């Protein structure tokens, strides 16, 4: 139906007769001439209709936004060059225009910035905008680049089931009633974790999949019910084999898609060091600020909040210097305290030091003069600066001081325009869930502990370190993985420590325990969040921009109207019914 794409017409084609197809981006009647900006996926070209072509002119004069056209004409040089578009030096002198499909008046025009609800309802109109096309293309290029890299290295792209078995973190499972098995359900996978481990046991050696995963949790700005990950698994490997390989992969795709050179090698931090220096297990290294531990310098003060935390083996007293922070108003300081409070802070002490060296601090009175001077020196407080202090439980202080660090960085223009990847390693094996009174796995229950000895693990569960690792980029965890447990006894022991009894383990993971029994190789892997990486590359905060048909934060597709009620007769066929509403 066409000989060329609109956006690719250029000066080399002057004199040629071409047939183009596309949308009427805009049509104007100016000084007795009709100008049509004809748009396709490659871009826009100007079509000119002269009045002596009466029939064609009549068609052109009738056009509205987004009418779909087929245009035949001759390429010629343009009188007034338009530098804003690729085809700005040429135009098409039309000899024939066919309206392939007339467009009704639009609910919103591509050029305006409609509300998100409208944009999602008419997603196909929103996706026509060049900015949205660009972001989708970034994602497409990212996935292409990844596959090219993986295929060239012998990774095998293997599909795993979407209809599978409910898992122990079952509360987040999507359930699918089974027609042939009344009262039974499939579940959609939260990840292909177990299947990829099984594939290693089955001898596939190096596996990957761009896999759809499902998690039924309340939607936050950066979460969707379904999301996409690059899932990888390797047999016969140790941590560095996996890390070095995928680090090279990520460097390659950033080079190919973004023309960016990432650090080589990536910096590495243990989890403990990341928490200590940045108050985060996914530190944003674009911000050149670090937390400073000052417990030792406050033990002789009379400020009970500090001395209590300093005396507590699970406590922390940490400082964050805000360069030029002396300029902060009382209100701004209060806002920072409020922000820290959201992450668990009960209060935020500070020392301000004016440009003239004058010190203002609500806590100065609790310190001897030389101790206070030592404290100021330890945190690097210079004239014009301010320093915040947090004290309390180690984890809580780290969390809110880490959050404070990010906000201070963003508010004060301290975020470098750069790509800062790193590895975080040596995660704790378990986290104590005080509510449930049991350990939970920090990565997942299949992550190997650093120790090989089961008794050793049992004896030191609280401080045990895992063989898990995360890849972090600009403050986002973009990849997470681990070396897995490959011995059935160790897997059983870890289940036990996690409060999963032998019977429950057998019911839920019997097939994994069996598989480990029949010759499982040492193996490990990683999964990367494609939506997040694509959003980072596309330069958008929201992953919704790089998902063609996203759901809202209320889990709806505004375009199709999913979810929707289903006739009871159809529910009967799969042996379920809607539960009556609770009376209370």
Binding residues: 169, 215-217, 224, 443, 477, 484, 529-532
Which one, 226 or 335, has the nearer CB to its own copies? 226
Residue 492 CB, shortest distance to its own copies, in Å, is 14
Name the residue nearer to its own copies (CB basis): 18 or 125: 125
Smallest gap from residue 187 Cβ to its own copies (A): 7
The least distance separating its own copies from the CB of residue 243, rounded to whole angstroms, comes to 14
- Coil, helix or strand for 390? strand
Closest to its own copies by CB, 217 vs 355, is: 217
Shortest Å, Cβ 303 to its own copies? 46
User: DSSP secondary structure string, 309-360?
Assistant: HHHSTTEEEEEEEETTGGG--HHHHHHHHHHHHHTT-S--EEEEE-TTS-EE
By C-beta, is 140 or 338 nearer to its own copies? 140
313 or 580: CB nearest its own copies: 580
Residue with tokens 């820290």: 340
DSSP letter for each residue of 127-178: TTSHHHHHHHHHHHHHHHHHHHHHHHTT-EE----SSB---TTGGG--EEE-
Tokens 């439980």 locate to 393
Q: Is 72 in the site for its own copies (CB under 8 A)?
A: no
Min CB(139)–its own copies separation in Å: 8
214 binds its own copies (CB under 8 A): yes
Determine the interface stretch with its own copies among 86-94, 301-309, 359-367, 548-556 (rule: CB under 8 A). Answer: 548-556
Contact 531, 544 (CB under 8 A): no
Q: 1-40 mask for its own copies (x: CB under 8 A)?
A: xx------------------x-x---------------xx
Please give the DSSP secondary-structure letter assigned to residue 466.
B
Residues in 229-258 at the binding interface with its own copies, rule: CB under 8 A: 235-238, 241
**Nearest CB to its own copies, comparing residues 120 and 381:** 120
Q: Where are the beta strands (DSSP E) in 224-280?
A: 226-235, 268-270
Site for its own copies, residues 406 to 435, rule: CB under 8 A: none
Q: Quote the least distance from Cβ 135 to its own copies, whole Å.
A: 12
Q: Which stretch binds its own copies (CB under 8 A): 320-328, 382-390, 401-409, 545-553?
A: 545-553
Q: Say if CB 90 and CB 43 are below 8 A apart.
A: no
Binds its own copies (CB under 8 A): choice among 10, 50, 72, 216: 216
**Sequence-separated (6 or more) residues with CB below 8 Å from residue 372:** 364
Total site size for its own copies, rule CB under 8 A = 121
Q: For residue 146, report the phi and psi dihedrals to the nearest 5 degrees.
A: -60, -45
Contact flags string 85-124 toward its own copies, x per CB under 8 A: ---------------xx-xx-xx--------------xxx
CB-wise, 204 or 394, nearer to its own copies? 204
Nearest to its own copies of 13, 490 (CB atom)? 490
Q: What are the tokens at 199?
A: 């594939």
- Residue 210's contacts (CB-CB under 8 Å, 6 or more residues apart) are 143, 146, 147, 157, 228, 229, 230, 231, 530
Cβ count within 10 A of residue 100:
12
- Compute the least distance from the CB of residue 218 to its own copies, in Å: 8
Can you tell me which of 520, 527, 535, 543 binds its own copies, judged by CB under 8 A? 520
Q: Which of 329, 564, 583, 584 binds its own copies (CB under 8 A)?
A: 564
Binding status of residue 226 toward its own copies by CB under 8 A: yes
Output the smallest distance, CB 68 to its own copies, in A.
5
* Choice between 141 and 270, CB closer to its own copies: 141
Here the tokens at position 266 are 């990536």
Closer CB to its own copies, residue 373 or residue 502?
Answer: 502
Q: Which of residues 48-67 bind its own copies (CB under 8 A)?
A: 66-67
Residues in the chain: 584
β-pairing, 291-293 with 268-270?
A: unpaired
Point out which residues pair with 36 in neighbouring strands: 27, 47
Minimum Å gap between C-beta 473 and its own copies is 22
At CA 390, angle to CA 405 and CA 335, rounded to 5? 60
Closest CA to 557 of 544, 566, 568: 544
**Which CB atom, from 167 or from 398, has the smaller least distance to its own copies?**
167
Q: Which residues line the annotated binding site for L-aspartate?
A: 169, 215, 443, 484
Cβ distance to its own copies smaller for residue 173 or 426? 173
**Is cis: bond before 401, omega within 30 of 0?**
no
Instruction: Return the structure tokens found at 310.
Output: 């300093």
The answer to whether residue 372 forms part of the interface with its own copies (CB under 8 A) is no
In angstroms, what CA-CA distances link 553 with 276, 424, 542? 34, 30, 12
Closest approach of its own copies to the CB of residue 257, in Å = 14
Within 133-192, the residues that bind its own copies by CB under 8 A are: 133, 136-137, 140, 143-144, 147, 151, 156-166, 170-171, 173-188
Question: Any contact of residue 502 with its own copies (CB under 8 A)?
Answer: no
Q: Which residues, 459 to 488, sit near its own copies by CB under 8 A?
A: 486-487
What's the gap between Cα 448 and its chain centre? 25
Tell me how far, at minimum, the Cβ of 447 lies from its own copies, in Å. Answer: 17
Contact 538, 531 (CB under 8 A): no
- Neighbouring residues of 106: CB distance < 8 A, sequence distance ≥ 6: 65, 66, 125
Whether the upstream peptide bond of residue 265 has omega within 30° of 0, thus cis, is: yes
Cα gap 547→222, rounded to integer Å: 11
């Amino acid at each position: 139906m066409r000989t060329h794409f609109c956006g690719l017409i250029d000066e080399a084609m002057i004199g040629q007769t071409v047939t183009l197809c596309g949308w009427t981006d805009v049509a104007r009647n100016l000084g007795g001439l009709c100008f049509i900006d004809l748009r396709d996926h490659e871009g826009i070209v100007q079509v000119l209709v002269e009045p002596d072509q009466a029939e064609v002119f009549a068609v052109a004069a009738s056009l509205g936004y987004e009418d779909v056209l087929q245009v035949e004409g001759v390429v010629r040089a343009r009188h007034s060059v338009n530098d804003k578009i690729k085809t700005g030096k040429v135009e098409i002198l039309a000899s024939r225009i066919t309206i392939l499909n007339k467009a009704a008046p639009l609910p919103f025009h591509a050029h305006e910035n409609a509300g998100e609800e409208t944009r999602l309802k008419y997603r196909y109109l929103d996706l026509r905008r060049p900015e949205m096309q660009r972001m989708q293309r970034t994602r497409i290029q990212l996935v292409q680049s990844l596959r090219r890299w993986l295929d060239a290295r012998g990774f095998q792209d293997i599909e795993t089931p979407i209809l599978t078995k409910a898992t122990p973190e079952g509360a987040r499972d999507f359930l699918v009633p089974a027609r042939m098995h009344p009262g039974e359900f499939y579940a959609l996978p939260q990840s292909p974790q177990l299947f990829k481990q099984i594939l290693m046991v089955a001898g596939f050696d190096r596996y990957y999949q761009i896999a759809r995963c499902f998690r039924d949790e309340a939607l936050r700005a950066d979460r969707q019910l379904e999301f996409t990950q690059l899932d990888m698994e390797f047999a016969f490997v140790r941590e560095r084999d996996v890390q070095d390989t995928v680090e090279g992969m990520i460097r390659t795709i950033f080079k190919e898609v973004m023309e960016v050179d990432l650090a080589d090698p990536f910096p590495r931090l243990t989890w403990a060091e990341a928490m200590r220096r940045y108050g985060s297990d996914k530190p944003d290294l674009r911000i050149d600020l670090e937390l400073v531990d000052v417990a030792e310098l406050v033990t002789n003060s009379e400020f009970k909040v500090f001395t209590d935390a300093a005396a507590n083996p699970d406590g922390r007293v940490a400082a964050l210097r805000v360069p030029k922070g002396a300029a902060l108003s009382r209100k701004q300081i209060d806002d920072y305290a409020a922000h820290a409070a959201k992450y668990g802070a009960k209060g935020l002490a500070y020392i301000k030091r004016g440009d003239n060296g004058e010190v203002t601090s609500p806590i100065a009175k609790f310190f001897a003069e030389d101790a206070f001077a030592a404290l100021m020196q330890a945190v690097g407080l210079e004239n014009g600066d301010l320093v915040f202090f947090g004290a309390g439980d180690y984890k809580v202080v780290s969390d809110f001081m880490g959050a404070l660090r990010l906000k201070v960085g963003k508010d004060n223009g301290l975020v470098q325009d750069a790509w800062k990847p790193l590895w975080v390693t040596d995660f704790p094996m378990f986290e104590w869930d005080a509510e449930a009174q049991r350990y939970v796995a920090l990565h997942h229950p299949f992550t190997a502990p650093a120790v090989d000895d089961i008794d050793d693990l049992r004896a030191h569960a609280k401080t045990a370190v895992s063989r898990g690792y995360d890849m972090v980029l600009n403050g986002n965890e973009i990849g997470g993985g681990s070396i897995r447990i490959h011995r059935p006894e160790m897997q059983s022991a870890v289940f036990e420590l996690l409060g999963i009894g032998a019977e429950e383990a057998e019911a839920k993971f019997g097939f994994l325990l069996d598989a480990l029994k029949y010759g499982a190789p040492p193996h490990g892997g990683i999964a990367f969040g494609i939506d997040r990486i694509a959003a980072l590359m596309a330069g958008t905060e929201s992953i919704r921009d790089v998902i063609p048909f996203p759901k809202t934060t209320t889990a709806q597709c505004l375009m199709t109207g999913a979810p929707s009620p289903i006739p009871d007769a159809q529910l009967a066929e799969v042996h379920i019914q809607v539960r009556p509403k609770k009376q209370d």
